[in-house]
Structure 1
Amino acid sequence: MGKKIAKFIGCIFGILILIVVVYVLYVMLSYTRLEDHLALTSDAPGDSQVVRQAIESDSDREFCIITANIGFGAYDQEFDFFMDGGTMSWAQSRERVEENVRGMSEAIVGYEPDFLFLQEVDTDGTRSYHVDEYELVRQEFPSFETVYAQNYDSAFLFWPLYQPHGRNEAGLVTLSMYDIAAAERRSLPISDSFSKFLDLDRCYSISKIACENGRELVLFNVHLSAYGVDASIQQAQREMLYGDMVAEYEKGNYVIVGGDFNHDMTGDSGVRYGNQVQAVESWAKPFDFDSVPEGFTVGARALAEAGEFDMAATCRDAGRPYDGTNDRWVLDAFIYSDNVEVLEYETVDLDFAYSDHNPVRMVFRLLGVGSAHEASVQR
């Protein structure tokens, strides 16, 4: 009798091991990355409005650009995330996903942006109840031309066991009130270790908008790797991004880079917001400001160094629901070339009502041909 029980238990363990091996093989064999230098197609405005073809040669024209990580429609104040120390893996409901995406969109619409960067926009995800958030965003911004760049397409993840994260597709969305003449997806360097199967297919998108003065406004929508990645990978990502930024700048183009940098973009968020975790080695590390190419400014850092950054944080700790005391950081920001004059720069303080990120808003002018004016930041 004892031998039969032992044999039965052995068979059960053998089956479980086989299931695990088959699943690991499935994850590894299904893994793929999109090619680099992938041309992207823009989608016309949903309301059939004809967007403006080129930016007018008017030195007094002011533009508004906003960046926001929408957290796949899940991260309202009640949400925590299992990978950050919480318990939740999915949004609380399909209805909540739609409410959060619409709520964030309506808050942004009120600022009348000309350009908009969004990150963590699910197109088909277990975690977001298969809501096509890209189409939902297009409904909320019907007068904008849009470009979608995929940066996440995971195999079905069976973790956590009580609520498997599932299979998810997501990306970056760039919206413009002007015609996007060309758009491209750049594949960022990522880890070669097993962690790549759990991380995003990191990338940034480049969207080019013609100006009547012969230049282009070049918009970079980014979502860099987080603190857990090897420093050499982070450096390689920055160097690749900087290379494209500088190449456009040397052509005389206007360059604006915005998004979720997954680093402290003031360098002192821990002290600034009284965080419990303040160590440099912890979440999140200060950005390598010394590596920023000449001719470019990190907006949040410039204000912090001038003693003028007195605004809300852009990201909160998602290890627990938000109650106003969570650790907070400035992870979302704009970097811009010195032929872009910044007039206003601020966090749009939504108190993390719809995402674990608050949007960042910047108002700017494009300086004239041949101008050597040094960009300024004012509040």
Structure 2
Amino acid sequence: MKKIIKLFFGIIALVVILFLIFLGYSMLTNYDPQDREEIFKSENPNQFKQGDTLRFLIWNIGYAGLGGDMDFFYDGGKNMQTSKERTLENFVKIKSLLAESDSIDFIMLQEVDVEAKRSYYINERDSLSSFLIGWKPYFAMNYNVKFVPSPISSPMGKVISGILSLTKHEPLLCERYKFPGEGPFPTNLFMLDRCFIVKRFPVSENKQLLVINTHNAAFEDSVVKTKHMEFLKGFLSDEYSKGNYIIMGGDWNQSPFGADKNSFSKSLPEKHFKLISIAKDFLPKEWKWIYDPTVPTNRYLNFPYDPETTPKIIIDYYLISPNVDAVYVHTKNLDFQNSDHQPVFAGFVLK
């Protein structure tokens, strides 16, 4: 009996030691980017002027692993990844749609993997950058973890991923801005390091156009989300006070102000992801939220996609400063076959 007890406590001690070793390794290898990092700088940037119309496309491609066949454990589903064949199929179709968008000035993507188990180590960043000939790629990492241990039954493992902006126009400066604040320890070691990409272009009268690609907090707690939005509010207000033009788009993981959260689904699950709306007073009313109210941009991943029963929402859209006007906005309905998000096209004119 004593031997059994010793063995039992020995196993527990071993598990604790291994856990502490793993935790220490995760802390030592934790990705800790600077608050502001230069991605690219040019001595000969493209310049815009008042009256110019610019065309945009935003899309969270879900690393080509979250097509219609998938549910996902973070959202209350059971699976960590789809098959390699389906991932490749999704990625081919994603690239095909992007290639058809040749008239677009700016493509802003989220969840683009570089090296990750969940997407079978396909370097999606480099593949897209080389496939879209004539486009200049600008990438910012927001997920760099050596080993994500969840779910226990099939760990996500290594993830290197980020947001990718592509454009045919060379910016004066492109930078990665870090969102402040992080979740509780030790879960923060295995979550995203949220950020946004800012591309600056000269405009007449010594002003600048800021084109911003963002991927805001999703599963992080409300305190973290609040910090992110407060930082963003200060940044945008400061830039606009200088007379700059601002066009921002991406996956906000929040409902835009003024939108009906239940437009497409009467009931939304809240256990794993609680949808909130951006506050009315986030920015002055002259700022405009630009979205297509007729088509959802995101679907829940608690079950594989069913067009009749799957909850659907709008969390992908644009924000423009008062000196910019929207010409059009259109969400392309792909029925969530190759990603859990849908692409949103828009056109804007500098006033």
TM-score, normalised relative to structure 1: 0.84
Q: Which amino acid aligns with 1:272?
A: S
Residues 85 and 319, structure 1, Cα contact 8 Å, conserved in 2: yes
- Is 2:184 aligned against 1:201? no
1:244-284: CA deviation from partner (whole Å, max 9, x where unpaired):
22232222221111111111125554421124227799621
Query: For 1:209-266, what per-residue CA distance to the aligned partner results, in whole angstroms no more than 9, with x for missing partners?
Result: 2335643221111111125412x32222112212222232222221111111111125
| Letter matched to residue 97 of structure 1 | T
- The correspondence for 1:311, drawn from 259, 284, 294, is 294
Deviation at 1:365, TM superposition (A): 1.4
Q: Structure 1 residues 22, 7: CA separation in 2 closer, same or farther (over 3 Å shift)?
A: same
Deviations 1:53-80 (A, max 9, x none): 4245472x43210111111110110011
1:20 and 2:4 correspond: no
Tell me what 2:340 maps to.
Answer: 356
Paired residues in the alignment total: 347
**Aligned match of 2:215:** 223
Which of 87, 110, 114 does residue 100 from structure 2 map onto? 110
Amino acid aligned to 1:219: V
Q: Which runs of 4+ in 1 moved over 3 A?
A: 55-58, 211-215, 266-270, 278-282
The Cα shift of 1:289 comes to 2.9
* 3-state secondary structure, aligned to 2:111: strand
The residue correspondences of 1:1-379 to structure 2 (distance < 5 A) are 2-41=1-40, 53-57=45-49, 59=51, 61-93=52-84, 95-111=85-101, 112-194=103-185, 195-211=187-203, 214-226=206-218, 228-230=220-222, 232-265=223-256, 268-277=259-268, 283-293=274-284, 295-300=286-291, 310-324=293-307, 325-367=309-351
The residue identity in structure 2 corresponding to 1:317 is Y
Q: What percent of counterpart residues are identical?
A: 27
Structure 2 Cα separation of the partners of residues 65 and 8 of structure 1:
63
Amino acid corresponding to residue 13 of structure 2 in structure 1: G
Q: Which runs of 5+ in 2 are unaligned?
A: none
| SS in structure 2 of the partner of residue 40 of structure 1 | strand
Unmatched tracts of structure 1, length 5 or more: 44-51, 301-308, 368-379
> Does the 8 Å CA contact 1:184/1:207 hold for their aligned counterparts?
yes
CA drift at 1:341: 1.5
Which structure features the higher share of strand residues? 2
Gap change, CA 1:299 and 1:317, over 3 Å in 2: same
CA contact (8 A) 2:218 2:273 kept: no
CA distance in 1, matches of 2:21, 2:76: 28
Question: Structure 1, residues 98-120: CA drift from partner, whole Å, max 9, x if none?
Answer: 33233123223334311011111
TM-score (norm 2): 0.91
Distance verdict in 2 for CA 1:160–1:22, change over 3 Å:
same
Partner Cα distance (2:219, 2:156) in 1: 21
- Distance change in 2, residues 1:5/1:281 (3 Å): closer
